[in-house]
Chains A and B, each alone.
Chain A
């Protein structure tokens, strides 16, 4: 793989990591409130899959969705401002952390309902079929979503209509705090794809390069009109379900195993193996730090939404 591409993947993975850390800090000081679900530990999945897309391909994200938005190239300042509830945010402060969307970059949005985005993604696939373009959709969801009815219905619908969708199952092994093995009798959730007559593949979810390489085939298949694929990526959150969940139910040895496979470290090692100079890596690190500082500053300085403007939009009847 070319060094430029590797550097790009590293920068995205690191940006997500640092964005989540910054968001957590801003939450602690009260600039962000409500729910905040960090993507920390899962960065490689968003980066590996979304970097394999064209700019006009769609993504549909989840409540743990900052990583998908950053991988799609969203502006960090506009994202942070949305998390702050500011008028300059992507959703003018009406969505917050769980609902970041940017239609101009074909991100149809995150979702506060687990599994709720799967039919929307499937519908975006139908829209592509109606228009006859070669776009594809990445539908992100978690292991928690696979026991929701719409997961099953939607995979079947996408299968029978041959829709250009790659269903991205981010198996972080907990539905909030419920361990995946306690609510599923199968080891690999991707085997459910067989029930709908589509390919299902399980792989490790912490190496962005591996993910980027392996997702090419299902994307190409979808573009050719051959229908959807279910990709399952096994990974692990580096913390609880949301910032106020200490994650006491996550065994220390399991955490240690997954932290030893940190997606940021893995990408950094890829760069070193490819002969990228330490100074080049440092330059990326510094650029990311600067962007995050600017994003937080922008969010802090942005105005609150106007109450008058908001109230004026509400119909009486």
Chain B
């Protein structure tokens, strides 16, 4: 094991897959010489050259659609969308073209398309660079949606995404890029669609993903001091969702809290709760709870910004309530 940063783990995943398969190539804004705004593609241009590490103009709809076309035509593109906020620029190509393509042609081919992007609040980036938009992709049949929280998961899942024959939306978090964690020196892949129990517990099931996994684990440690034993499930993959893991845990604890940074209204959390209520209603011993971002545009001011997404304290308070009722 070596301790690496999240962005270094992603960089290693891209490098290894490009070394392994000459049909893997990268497209995106400023990913070449600059190495990407968050340095995920650092030094890849030097190793693989301009043909495979392609800087694009600011033409998101078309270069994302191009990645779709290149995937359909037999290559394995990894396209970077600088901010998930720009999803709104590319949704025809993602949702009407890439996601539906193989279905609409009767399953004739494969679409090994990976769109890497990042979301979440940073530090005063305001309303168009701070969103968590996974629910938009989650809603569209035909897309796999992956949101890893640790360097280990990021590397293993990005490699698996690149080898997947179906489209992947791979959403990183800007506050995770410098997070460190153990990553094996030898090659490994992680299965798409498998949650990971990041902390075992018997009292309350806490389901989360991406950056909120780290916050939830901090909350779980504080709650442990009060004698509340929280099981933290990191979904890692939102589509397909590992509901078996969630249901098994809920059947054990009888209590459920879901934590995500995205706005509460129409969020993935509502769907997780619905699934649990439909499948395990009689195993629940208390009302379920969503601890989610507020239904607001993210403000610029950092003190206001903090109020919009769940804090460790809010998670602690929420889980306490679920435990007590």
Note whether A and B form a binding pair.
Answer: yes
* A95 close to B106 (CB less than 8 A): yes
- Is B241 in contact with chain A by the CB < 8 A criterion? yes
Q: Is B69's CB under 8 angstroms from A123's CB?
A: yes
Which residues does chain B contribute within 8 Å of A161, judged by CB atoms?
54
Contact with A along B30-59 (1 / 0, CB 8 A): 000000000000000000000110101101
Q: Are A101 and B69 in contact (CB under 8 A)?
A: no
- A317 shortest CB reach to chain B, Å: 4
Inter-chain contact count A-B, CB under 8 Å? 141
In angstroms, Cα B74 to Cα A38, docked, is 31
Q: Which residues of B contact A317 (CB under 8 A)?
A: 239-241, 243, 275
User: Do residues B23 and A126 form an inter-chain contact, with CB atoms below 8 A?
Assistant: no
Q: Are A130 and B52 in contact (CB under 8 A)?
A: yes
Size of interface on A: residues with Cβ below 8 Å to B:
45
Known A60-B69, A119-B66, A161-B54; judge A99-B75 contact (CB<8 A): no
Residues of A contacting B25 in the complex (Cβ-Cβ under 8 angstroms): 130
* In the complex with contacts A92-B107, A108-B72, A150-B65, A123-B77 CB distance below 8 A: yes
Q: Are B59 and A153 in contact (CB under 8 A)?
A: yes
Give B17 Cβ to nearest chain A Cβ, in Å.
14
Would you give the shortest CB distance from A277 to chain B, in whole angstroms? 41
Establish whether residues B72 and A124, one from each chain, have CB atoms under 8 Å apart when the complex forms.
Answer: yes
Using a CB-CB cutoff of 8 Å, which residues 63-91 of chain B contact chain A? 63-75, 77
Q: Is A242 an interface residue (CB 8 A)?
A: no
- Please indicate the chain A residues that have their CB under 8 angstroms from the CB of B59 in the complex: 153-154, 156-157
Question: A311 vs B97: C-alpha distance in the bound complex, in angstroms?
Answer: 22
A194 within 8 A of B: no
A122 and B54 alpha carbons, distance in the complex (Å): 14
Asked whether, in the complex, the Cβ of B57 is within 8 Å of the Cβ of A160, the reply is yes
- With A89-B106, A119-B66, A150-B65 given, is the CB distance from A109 to B51 under 8 Å? no
CA distance A307 to B69 in the complex (A): 30
Among A91, A94, A102, A127, the residue within 8 A (CB) of B69 is A127
Report chain A residues within 8 Å CB of B209.
Answer: none
Docked CA distance A108–B109 (Å): 10
Instruction: Identify B61's interface contact among A130, A131, A153, A156, CB under 8 A.
Output: A153
> CB distance A157 to B56 under 8 Å?
yes
B136 to chain A, nearest CB (A): 17
The verdict on A124 contacting B70 (CB below 8 Å), with A101-B105, A113-B96, A130-B23 known, is: yes
* A128 in the interface (beta carbon within 8 A): yes
A91 touches B65 (CB 8 A): no
Q: Binary interface profile of A, 113-149, with partner B (CB < 8 Å = 1, else 0)?
A: 1001011111111111111000000000000000001
**A248: interface (CB < 8 Å):** no
- Min CB–CB distance B24 → chain A (angstroms): 9
The yes or no answer to B92 lying at the interface (CB within 8 A) is yes
B90 to chain A minimum Cβ distance, whole angstroms, is: 10
Q: Is the CB of B105 within 8 A of A99?
A: yes
Decide: A123 and B240 in contact? CB cutoff 8 A: no
With A317-B240, A317-B241 as contacts: A157 and B97 at CB distance below 8 Å: no
Instruction: Tell yes or no: B311 within 8 A of A by CB.
Output: no
Collect the chain B residues with CB atoms within 8 Å of residue A160's CB: 57
**Chain B residues whose CB sits within 8 angstroms of the CB of A104 once the complex forms:** 108
B-to-A contact residues, CB < 8 Å: 22-23, 25, 27, 51-52, 54, 56-57, 59, 61-75, 77, 92-93, 96-97, 101, 103-109, 239-241, 243, 275
19 further interface pairs, Cβ-Cβ under 8 Å (given A101-B104, A126-B66): A94-B105, A99-B104, A103-B109, A104-B108, A109-B101, A119-B62, A119-B64, A124-B69, A124-B70, A124-B72, A126-B27, A127-B73, A150-B62, A153-B57, A154-B65, A157-B59, A316-B243, A317-B239, A317-B240
- Ranked 5 nearest A-B pairs via Cβ: A123-B69, A119-B65, A153-B62, A92-B106, A123-B66
29 A-B pairs (CB sep. < 8 Å):
A58-B73, A92-B107, A94-B103, A94-B104, A101-B105, A103-B109, A109-B101, A109-B104, A113-B92, A119-B64, A119-B68, A121-B69, A123-B68, A123-B69, A123-B70, A124-B73, A126-B27, A127-B75, A128-B73, A130-B25, A131-B23, A131-B74, A149-B61, A150-B65, A153-B59, A156-B59, A157-B63, A316-B243, A317-B275
